[in-house]
Amino acid sequence: MPQFKRSCGKLSSLMFVAVLGFSSPMAWSQTTKVSSAVAPFVEKGALAGAVMLVADQEKTLAIETAGYLDVAAKKPIPANGIFWIASMSKPITGTALMVLVDEGKVQLDDPVEKYLPEFRGNWVITQQDGNHQVLRHPIRPITVRDTLRHTSGMPFQSVLETPTLDALPLALAVRSYAMTPLIYEPGTKYQYSNAGINTAARIIEVVEKQSFEEFLQERFFDPLGMKDTTFWPNEEQLTRVVKAYSPTEDKQGLREIKISQLQYPLNDRRRGPMPAGGLFSTAADIGIFCQMILNQGEFQGKRFLSEKAVKEMATRQTGEGIKESYGLGWAVGDGWLGHGGALATNMTVDYQRGIATVWLIQHAGFPQDGDKAHGAFMQAAHQFAISK
C-alpha cells in the first residue's frame, strides 16, 4: 500500500471546508472553530481527514470537513463523503428492532427461539481444556433483550465468518451462531457480540417476512431522507467512499489500507448485509438519524419510534455486576447515548446539551492521535453549541 509521510507545511485552503446553515461573518467564525480544532492532527499527518457534524433538535448547525478523501491524489474530503460506519450500524439495528416492540410484534424478554427455532436446545460451555469442552444446556434461553445488550453468551462471530465478516447471507450467519456453543450463561456477563446484533436483525426478517435491508429502507432510510446509507455503495457512491488509513510502522505517517473485515468490490450484493457493522453512510444521514433519537423518536413531524422505546434504548440494560454500560444497541451514559465504529467513527446524542454530534474518519486501530482529534472536535462542538 502507498505510504504518506508527515509534512509540516501549511495546508492548502482546499483542505478545510465548511458547509453551513449561516451567512453572517460572525457565524462563519464560530463554526470554523470546529474544524480548526482538528486541523493540527491533519497537518502533522496523524489523520487523513474527517467530516464533523453538529445538530440540535431542529436543524443541522454545521457540517465541516478537514483533510483528504484520498491523500495520494490530494483529493479534499467532501461534506458528503461516504464512510464505512462499522459498529455504528448496531444502534440502527437496535432501533429497527424496537419498532417491532412498539408494534407489539416482538417482546424484549421473549426467548430468541420463539422467533428462530434453530436456537432451541443450544449449549453453553461450562469447562474448556484445550480442544476439549464440557457442555450443558443453559439455565435459561437467550432473550431478545440479551441480543441487543451483548449478554447473550454468543461469541463475537462464528468460525464460518471468515476471512471477512460479510461472507454469509444473514440467515446462514445466524444459523451458524445457533450451532455454536455459548461461552457463558445468558444474562450473566457482557461480551461484545456481532452475532447477537445480527441475530436481532434476523428476528426482524422472520417477523416481517422481508429482508433486513428492505425493512431499513422502508422504515428509516427513505422516510428520513438518508439517501446515502447502504450496505452496498453504488457506482456513484463509490466515488465518494473515503479511503482508510493506518499509521506507518515508524508512526511518522499514514499508509492506505483496505477494510479487512469486508469483501471487495464493496458494491457486490453477494456480500452479506451484516447488521452489526456493515453500513456505509454520510455525516448528514447519520445526523438525521441522531436528530430523530434526540427528538425522542420523531423527525419533522413524523414519529418513527415511541418515546418509551427511545427511553428503553437509552437506559442501562447491563446488570450491576457488569462494568460496561450498554443499553439496547447503544452505549449509554448519564444523559447520553451513542456508538463508535472500527475505523474510529462516532456518533453521540447528548440530551443534557440538546445536541447530536457525528465524527467520521477512516483510521484503523483506534490510535491515540485519533482519540485526541475526536476529543478536540467534541470540545469544540460543545463550545459551538453553547454559542449558537
- pTM of the predicted model as reported, rounded to 2 decimal places: 0.91
Q: Where are the alpha helices (DSSP H) in 16-169?
A: 25-36, 39-43, 89-102, 144-149
Give the three-class secondary structure for 145: helix
133-138 LR contacts (CB < 8 Å, sep 24+) = 133/181, 135/181, 138/182, 138/185, 138/186
Least confident of 176-180, 185-189, 366-370: 366-370
- Give the Cα separation of 7 and 382 in Å (integer): 30
The larger pLDDT score, comparing residue 192 to residue 249, is at 192
Q: What percent of the chain has pLDDT over 70?
A: 90
- Give the Cα separation of 377 and 380 in Å (integer): 5
Write the DSSP symbol of residue 221. Answer: I
pLDDT of residue 20: 35
Please write the tens of the pLDDT for every residue from 215-246.
999 999 999 999 999 999 999 999 999 999 99
CATH class of 90-213: alpha beta
pLDDT, average across residues 339-352: 96
Does position 365 have pLDDT exceeding 80, yes or no? Answer: no
pLDDT of residue 96: 98
Closest by CA to 34, choosing from 13, 20, 48, 14, is: 20
Instruction: Judge contact between 20 and 46, C-beta under 8 A.
Output: no
**CB within 8 Å of 161: residues ≥ 6 apart:** 167, 168, 173, 176, 194
Task: Sketch the domain layout of the chain as residue ranges.
Answer: 3-89+228-387, 90-213
- Give the Cα separation of 304 and 99 in Å (integer): 8
Residue 14's identity, in one-letter code, is L
Instruction: Judge contact between 46 and 55, C-beta under 8 A.
Output: no
Please write the tens of the pLDDT for every residue from 45-102.
889 999 999 999 999 999 999 999 999 999 999 999 999 999 999 999 999 999 999 9
CATH class of 3-89+228-387: alpha beta
Residue 282's identity, in one-letter code, is T
Please write the tens of the pLDDT for every residue from 240-278.
999 999 988 887 889 999 999 999 999 999 999 999 999
Q: Fold match between 3-89+228-387 and 90-213?
A: yes
